[in-house]
Amino acid sequence: MLDFSVFTPEVFKAYILQGLYFSFLLTLVATLGGIVFGTALALLRLSGVKALELVAATYVNGMRSIPLLMVLLWFFLMVPFIIGRPIGAELTAVITFIAFEAAYFSEIVRAGIQSIPRGQVYAGQALGMSYGQNMRLVILPQAFRNMIPVFLTQTIILFQDTSLVYIITAHDLLHGFTVAGNNLSRPRESYILAAVLYFVICFSLSWTVKRVQQKVAIIR
């Protein structure tokens, strides 16, 4: 009933490879962008300035209470409207994922910063460090080290979520399998192979995360 014989390496190269590349690229860019903007949002939320805290909290909670698919639709509609010309589904996906993931990463960073004992903050202050110096030299290096496993777990979730660019028909990994399945009239086999490939990638990543977790733990 199932016939996988048409899925040769050539087919894989022609249909899947480019999508795989885009999914990886999207994951990487969104992770890095998410960490940078997420850290900025977290620092705003912990800044002690009420107005800044409110703005950051509204952004983060707003993003976290609507589905990624809706956010993709929003950006797909609004970005060309704001900058005045169409930019394509792929670039829209990249911008959306950075904006969306920043909200999730900021919660991770905030929890990481708050997990650092207060004594560390006071020690920095006692040494005469400014807020910026204290953050940069004392708090963030320790916090990031604690956060590495959570960052990596979030990255795996992010990689799975890249399949949702389906809604704006960006050419990602799943899109490659969908097109291959339709063109070769083997849609069912194609979806099964997609599931297998996603599983292999995500499972090996999460296995790696477990290893990393044991390595980076700070021994106190």
Partner 1 sequence: MALDWQVFCQDTIERTVVAGCFGTGGARGTQTYLDWLIAAWGQTVLVSALSLVVALVVGSIIGTIRTLPESPLLVRIGNVWVEFFRNIPLLVQLFLWYHVVPVLFPFFADTPKLALVVTALGLFTSARIAEQVRAGVQALPRGQRYAGMALGFTTPQYYRYVLLPMAFRIIVPPLTSEAMNIFKNSSVAFAVSITELTFFAQQAGEETARGIEIYLAVTALYVVSAFAINRVMAVIEKRARVPGFVASTGGGH
Question: Which residues would be at the binding site for partner 1 (CB under 8 A)?
Answer: 1-2, 62, 65-70, 73-74, 77-78, 107, 111, 160-161, 163-164, 166-167, 174, 187-188, 191-192, 194-195, 198-199, 202-203, 206
Integer Cα distance of 199 and 202 in angstroms: 5
* CB of residue 128 to partner 1, shortest distance in Å: 33
Residue 141 identity (one-letter amino acid): P
* CB of residue 86 to partner 1, shortest distance in Å: 14
Identify which of residues 130 and 204 has a Cβ nearer to partner 1 in the complex.
Answer: 204
Identify which of residues 13 and 188 has a Cβ nearer to partner 1 in the complex.
Answer: 188
Identify which of residues 37 and 75 has a Cβ nearer to partner 1 in the complex.
Answer: 75
Kindly state the tokens that stand for 69: 């698919």
* CB of residue 32 to partner 1, shortest distance in Å: 21
* CB of residue 193 to partner 1, shortest distance in Å: 10
In eight-state DSSP terms, residue 218 is P
Burial of 192: CB neighbours in 10 Å, binned 0-12, 13-18, 19+? middle
* CB of residue 202 to partner 1, shortest distance in Å: 4
* CB of residue 99 to partner 1, shortest distance in Å: 14
| CA-derived radius of gyration, the chain | 21
Identify which of residues 69 and 152 has a Cβ nearer to partner 1 in the complex.
Answer: 69
- Taking a C-beta distance cutoff of 8 angstroms, is the pair 42, 114 a contact? no
Comparing C-alpha atoms, which of 8, 39, 6, 17 is closest to residue 171? 17
Identify which of residues 144 and 166 has a Cβ nearer to partner 1 in the complex.
Answer: 166
Comparing C-alpha atoms, which of 174, 148, 152, 171 is closest to residue 161? 174
Task: Write a three-state SS string for 64-114.
Answer: HHCCHHHHHHHHHHHHHHHHCCCCCHHHHHHHHHHHHHHHHHHHHHHHHHH
Task: Kindly state the helix (H) or strand (E) to which residue 29 belongs, with its residue range.
Answer: helix 17-45
Identify which of residues 115 and 133 has a Cβ nearer to partner 1 in the complex.
Answer: 115
